[in-house]
Amino acid sequence: MHLIAGWRADGEHGSEMAEAVMWGLTGNREFVIRNLRPLEVAAERLDEERARLEASARAYAHEVDGVALFGDVHERNRVAFEFAQLLLGVDPVVNQ
């Protein structure tokens, strides 16, 4: 397993999991295929999908102590796929 992302989880700012995981997956094949660039994702869009993004990260990879996410190559790819689906919409090629 490899580190996908780490983030702060203090009560003042809330969780930064969605942002950290998205940046940690930069360059992942799913992001490249869908042309998903973290720098171009609006904060409002992240806020709209935050609960589902974090739930999918927890479902397909391994959260440790509420501050890190680990996964093997297949788990990373699945988390990236889910993030792309949620942030960009359903991929028409995959869901025919």
Cβ–Cβ under 8 Å, residues 79 and 61: yes
CA 22 – CA 7 distance, rounded (Å): 11
Confidence label for 94 from pLDDT (cuts 50, 70 and 90): confident
pLDDT, averaged across the chain:
90
Q: In the numeric block, which tokens belong to residue 43?
A: 């904060």
The residues spanned by each domain of the chain are 2-88
Averaged pLDDT, 9-23: 79
> Parallel, antiparallel, or unpaired for β 62-64 and 2-6?
unpaired
Entry field: residues in the chain: 96
Q: In the numeric block, which tokens belong to residue 68?
A: 């890190």
38-82 pLDDT, tens digit per residue, is 999 999 999 999 999 999 999 999 999 989 999 999 999 999 999
Of the candidate ranges 24-33, 68-77, 85-94, the one whose mean pLDDT is the lowest: 85-94
